[in-house]
Structures are given as C-alpha cells and as structure tokens.
C-alpha cells in the first residue's frame, strides 16, 4: 500500500458540504458563513488565490443607486457602506489570520475578469488544517440572507488529500 499526497485547486463555496450560513446582525461584524476543515483534509491559501461574492439581504423592490443602470435590486449591498472580510481561525477560535482584509463589497463582486477579481491579502502561503475554521464575515446595513439564491461566493485554495494506491 502506497500513500500518495494529492494537491489540487479547490473552490470553497456556499454549497460546499459543511458550510453553514447565518444572517448576522445589521451594522455589526457577523460570521455569515462558517466552514470547519474536515479531519482528512488540509487547505493551502496562496497569494494568487481569490475570493468573489454575490451577497443579498433578501430585499425585492428596486432602488436607485448612483451609477447603476438599471437600478440595483434592494437586496444587493450598497458599495459605500457594506464591508466584508475572510478569516482563518484556529479550532478554539481564539487566534485568527485575515485572508482577506476588511474591504468594500464592491471589490469582491467580480468572478471572471482576471484584472478585477480580488486576490487574498496574504504574502506567504497559509495552511488550514483539520479543525480550523474558515469564516466569511460581513458588516452590512441590513442583515444578510445566506439562504437566498442570489447569495453565493467562491474562495479558491489548494486542497491536500492523501490517497491510498
């Protein structure tokens, strides 16, 4: 029996098994998405990895936002006030490393354009081992609706798994 270490690009999304969403509290830093690294895995975050998000508070009526044509849905964040960050916490949640510093939501809305997509704010690789928490936090004007179909995110990393051959 040979154990081979396999490393490949991986996307942590709102639909990843184990990701838990919570609405949070308006105008307060809240843990909106939490994911605990499973026992059989390790994630490696590198400076070139990215984070993108489309977040919604569940509103339905359109509102006028300067520069937006047509008007943005009320559920969309307003770039001027809403903030987002991504943290890696140890298993006890006493120590943390910010993978993405406090930034405006408008900076993370791009999923495809290589020139605009948001890179993580790290200079060296960071390992997330079994039991650690990956947390997406928001400070929005109204409470986030994590179960809304228009709320989704993609956090890239490398996944390390052991395969038995």
Domain boundaries, the chain: 3-59+82-164
pLDDT tens track for 93-128:
999 999 999 998 888 988 988 888 999 999 999 999
Count how many residues are written for the chain: 165
Q: Which two tokens stand for residue 121?
A: 């704010």
State mean pLDDT over 32-41: 93
Between 104 and 5, the more confident residue is 104
Would you place residue 59 in the very low, low, confident or very high pLDDT band (cuts 50, 70, 90)? Answer: low
Indicate whether 23 pLDDT > 80. yes
Residues 6 or more apart in contact with residue 17 via CB below 8 angstroms: none
pTM (predicted TM-score): 0.82
State mean pLDDT over 9-21: 95
Tell me what percent of the residues of the chain surpass a pLDDT of 70: 78
- What does the pLDDT read at residue 44? 97
Whether the Cβ atoms of residue 75 and residue 144 lie closer than 8 Å to each other: no
Burial class from Cβ neighbours inside 10 Å (0-12, 13-18, 19+) for residue 80 reads: exposed
CATH number of the domain located at residue range(s) 3-59+82-164 in this protein: 2.60.120.1170
Q: Highest mean pLDDT range out of 21-35, 115-129, 150-164?
A: 115-129
Among residues 136, 106, 127, the alpha carbon closest in space to that of 16 is found at 136
Radius of gyration of the chain (CA): 17
- What does the pLDDT read at residue 146? 77
Q: What angle do CA 33, 37, 40 make, to 5 degrees?
A: 155
Q: Which residue has the tokens 């843990």?
A: 31
């Amino acid at each position: 029996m040979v154990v081979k270490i396999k490393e490949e690009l991986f996307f942590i999304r709102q639909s990843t098994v184990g990701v838990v969403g919570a609405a949070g509290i308006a105008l307060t830093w809240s843990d909106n998405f939490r994911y605990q690294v499973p026992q059989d895995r390790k994630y490696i975050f590198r400076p070139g990895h990215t984070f993108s998000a489309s977040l919604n508070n569940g509103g339905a009526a359109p509102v006028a936002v300067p520069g937006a044509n047509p008007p943005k849905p009320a559920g969309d964040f307003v770039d001027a006030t809403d903030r987002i960050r991504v943290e890696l916490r140890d298993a006890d949640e006493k120590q943390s490393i910010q993978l993405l510093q406090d930034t405006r939501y408008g900076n993370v809305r791009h999923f495809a354009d290589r020139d605009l997509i948001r890179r993580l704010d790290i200079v060296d690789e960071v390992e997330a081992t079994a039991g650690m928490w990956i947390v997406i936090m928001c400070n929005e004007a109204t409470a986030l609706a994590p179960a809304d179909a228009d709320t989704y995110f993609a956090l890239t990393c490398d996944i390390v798994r052991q395969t038995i051959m």
